[in-house]
Amino acid sequence: MKQFEVPVRYRSPLISAIKKKRKEADKLKKDFSPTLLDAGPLRIYLARHFGFCYGVENAIEIAFRTVEKHPGKRIFLLSEMIHNPQVNADLQAAGVRFLQDTYGQQLIPFEEIQSNDIVLIPAFGTTLQMEKMLKEKGIQTEKYNTTCPFVEKVWNRSEQIAAKGYTIVIHGKPQHEETRATFSHASASAPSVIVNDMNDAIELAAFIREEKGPEAFYERFRGRYTTGFDIHRDLARLGVVNQTTQLASDTQAIAEFLKQVMIEKYGLSNATIGERFADTRDTLCYATNDNQTAITGMLEVAADLAIIVGGYNSSNTTHLVELCEQRLPTYFISDESKLISESSISHFDFHTRQALTTENYLPPQRPLTILLSSGASCPDAVVEAVIRRLASFTNAILPDLG
């Protein structure tokens, strides 16, 4: 796989050494057990896979290379490059200005953009309408498009199944940049609808079975279906694709559920299911899959608590937290500064979207065992900083992996 040039401040000698040893011992990535950092009074189990993925490193390389090659030029980002506060803050410090926030709300009027400006497209991609607007302004985005190749793979797959007459069901968070972009690209080729979760899929099934009428559909999925969507015509053949940072198991469960609904409604067999339901399992992102599977492997270890590091608006990181908190106390932090002391931690509750402070989060017994992972947009340097801060609380000496 291609090696990217990202700022050295995002790298970590400790994490790089760990990942190198694991890669050498497990070239085919078959072993999802965690890596133990045994520091005496502190035992940290690191997930087998975590941190920057291909798409994130590609986006960071393009963004910082653009800044370096165009000193003094006005450079804009459509929205956050990735969902990581450190990286976005570094880009802003380098003079990059964000046109929109993560929810598509305008920060800088598009009228201010001129044809000689540079506009970076973030890793999540953007809508066809946005691409058209930039092109009409005379702005060339080809060299500055950091859309993740795996997001583009979903778009291409959508186009392929659309050409065969399938309606596109997108499993994603409706307000997420990537979902909005995927919906735009899918709806250009076929009728499309967004389902947020299994509850939405169950509701959609009621319309497939014709248990509910069009008005109920238009109310339930308001703002999440293509213009002119006809539930009788457009729910007769389906293909499910996803926002790449969703839980892979959730996407698969939704796809299997809707597949079974189609089998029952139309009396299909496994041999004839393709008449009504497209196989789209190949749209799942490898990094999302690996990171989530690594969490499952990590959770097989007995531990006192788990810490997940990443941006609070990062979908893929949130799902890692979701997996861990089903098994043990889990704290979602953005960086080492949230470890206020050995008795106090500031962390994020993604359910309520609130920052919390918890006291006595570290149990008194020693050795203390902690599970640790991070999202696909979190620098390894931040993970190392978290490890070193935990070590300082417990007077632990980290092993030399050089």
Identify the CA nearest to 2 among candidates 60, 67, 69, 57.
Answer: 57
Per-residue DSSP letter, 284: S
Active site residue ranges: 178
Strand 42-46 versus strand 75-77 pairing type: unpaired
Q: What pLDDT score was predicted for residue 282? A: 67
Question: What confidence tens digit (pLDDT) does each residue in 238-282 have?
Answer: 999 999 888 888 999 999 999 999 999 999 998 899 999 998 876
CATH architecture of 8-53+287-394: 3-Layer(aba) Sandwich (3.40)
CA–CA gap between residue 365 and residue 337 (Å, rounded): 23
pLDDT at res. 245:
86
Write the secondary structure of 147-198 as one string of H (helix), E (strand) and C (coil): CCHHHHHHHHHHHHHHCCCCEEEEECCCCCHHHHHHHHHHHCCCCEEEECCH
Domain parsing of the chain, residue ranges? 8-53+287-394, 54-144, 155-284
∠ Cα 393 390 329 (to 5°):
110
- What 8-state DSSP symbol labels residue 122? P
Write out the two tokens for 113. 């953009």
Q: Tell me: the pLDDT tens digits for 336-380?
A: 999 999 999 999 999 999 999 999 999 999 999 999 999 999 999
Q: Which residues of the chain have pLDDT under 70?
A: 1, 282, 402
Question: In the CATH scheme, what is the code of domain 54-144?
Answer: 3.40.50.11270
pLDDT for 113 equals 94
